[in-house]
Amino acid sequence: MKDYVKIAWRNLWRNRRRTLLTIASVLFALFLALIMRSMQLGSYSNMVESAVKSSTGYIQVHEKGYWADKSIDNTFETSDSFKAMIRDHPNVSLIIPRLETFALLSSGKQTKGAAVIGTNPALENASSGLEAKLVSGEYLDEDDQAVLIADGLAKYLKVNVGDTLVLLGQGYHGQTAAGAYPVKGIISFVQPDMNNLMTFIPLALAQELYSTPDRLTSLSILLTDPDQMRKTRDELIDKSPEHLEIMVWDEMLTEMVNAIEGDNISSQFMLGILYLVVGFGILGTILMSTMERKKEFGIMVAVGMRRTKLAIIVFIETLIISILGIFAGVLTSFPLILYFYHNPVPLTGEAAEAMIEYNMEPVMPFLLEPGYFINQSVVVIIITMLTLIYPMTVIGRFKIVNAIKGR
């Protein structure tokens, strides 16, 4: 085998231009595939991360039936021991207790319905970076009797930091929920819907306002290793009361899952077209090489080399070209992917608007992980190996006399 490799290596560099052209075809295919895949997977990862950190978590605990009917009556009581059980799981990095409901917000003559999120301010900030979205005022403390209000909602209600805001809603089992609280801070979201609707208050204040002491609508759970999400969910189910429902994010955010799957299918189709074009390019180079080397093949078989050994040498030649092309493709694409992984591309226009609709920053992030490098490299090797069908057929069927004569 060592001799075969040595002969194959020498054969490659007898025609440097042809070899370099084939390597360049492989490099081009892999370079484009890696850049495209990194962009796609990066945008998917950013979309999922934004959604789970700001709303559902990777896993969410709530009362059975709550996800279908998000009513204040579908809350559940929590205990320190239950939260400690979740917190002590080795894959759980953070749990965020929330009481989510609605209220009519009023200031002077201005009134508007809004979403009210009762939460632990420190944990919420650790999850979604809420404090960084402050545009004026101060962030909430756990024992505050005040609210944070979204910038668009504040403008509609014509309130500023320090102004009093009246909240009126329906509490647990039909009780009246009414209170007047000062605006401690104003936050800004990139998504218009959130910027026009969101109000945050400390969890203890929300439980008092809505008459739900020690009750929550959900516990959102962030994970150390999201790849172990379903395993973690199953382990938590085994230790949880039967009246609770534990769901993973893709069971709750089905619209986003469908959007990702649809986009992924179209992107895979585009990659397939790219590989098809480049595959024909590689095949053309192999065809040219085979036709030029027919006389060489004929002479080698005439002097005693078996056709199987000749086929092995050609296979090794193609494998070496694939490996060199893949190495060059990874080497040229990795610095670019690494740069854009740390410096996402800012978006404008319709692309930015589409990102904002999913509560994401209008940037194109890149994903850096070994998985897609390996997958795309394997695909390129398979395509290159498929181009061997023609030379192997020629080697198995050519007539020695005609090959030597160049026919």
DSSP-assigned letters across all residues of 298-362: HHHHHTT--HHHHHHHHHHHHHHHHHHHHHHHHHHHHHHHHHHHHSPEE--HHHHHHHHHTT--S
Contact 222, 57 (CB under 8 A): yes
pLDDT tens per residue across span 355-401: 666 566 677 788 888 888 888 888 888 888 888 777 777 777 667 77
Contact 69, 248 (CB under 8 A): no
Mean pLDDT across 324-328: 89
More confident residue, 97 or 50: 97
pLDDT tens per residue across span 351-367: 666 666 656 667 778 88
Q: Which residues of 142-167 are buried (b: 16+ CB within 10 A; e: fewer)?
A: eebebbbbbbbbbebbebebeeebbb
- Structure-token match 């060199």, residue found: 324
pLDDT on residue 405: 65
pLDDT on residue 351: 64
Separation CA 121–CA 201 (nearest Å): 8
Separation CA 188–CA 136 (nearest Å): 9
pLDDT on residue 360: 65
pLDDT on residue 50: 79
pLDDT on residue 264: 82
pLDDT on residue 354: 63
Separation CA 323–CA 29 (nearest Å): 13
pLDDT on residue 104: 92
Q: Which residues contact 330 (CB under 8 A, 6 or more apart)?
A: 30, 34, 373, 377
pLDDT on residue 406: 61
3-state secondary structure at position 280: helix
Mean pLDDT across 324-330: 89
Going by their DSSP bridges, the two strands 164-170 and 92-107 should be labelled as antiparallel
Contact 275, 383 (CB under 8 A): yes
Helices and strands (DSSP H and E) totals, the chain: 16, 14
pLDDT tens per residue across span 53-66: 878 889 999 999 88
Separation CA 295–CA 128 (nearest Å): 68
Separation CA 135–CA 66 (nearest Å): 33
Instruction: Choose among 79, 131, 124, 134: nearest CA to 100.
Output: 124
Contact 166, 113 (CB under 8 A): no
pLDDT bracket for residue 159 (50, 70, 90):
very high
> Which residue type, as a one-letter code, is found at position 373?
F
Alpha helices in 239-293 (DSSP H): 249-252, 254-292
pLDDT on residue 403: 63
pLDDT tens per residue across span 218-254: 999 999 998 899 999 999 998 888 889 999 988 888 8
pLDDT tens per residue across span 24-61: 888 888 888 888 888 888 888 887 887 788 788 899 99
More confident residue, 36 or 117: 117
Residue 49: count other Cβ atoms within 10 Å of its Cβ: 15
pLDDT on residue 394: 73
pTM (2 d.p.): 0.76
Q: Is the pLDDT of residue 108 over 70?
A: yes
- Structure-token match 């059980």, residue found: 85
Contact 105, 199 (CB under 8 A): yes
Q: How far is CA 144 from CA 128, 130, 204, 279, in A?
A: 20, 16, 9, 64
Instruction: Choose among 19, 28, 30, 24: nearest CA to 288.
Output: 19
Alpha carbon dihedral 97, 103, 108, 110, in 10-degree steps, equals 120
pLDDT tens per residue across span 182-205: 999 999 887 777 888 899 999 999
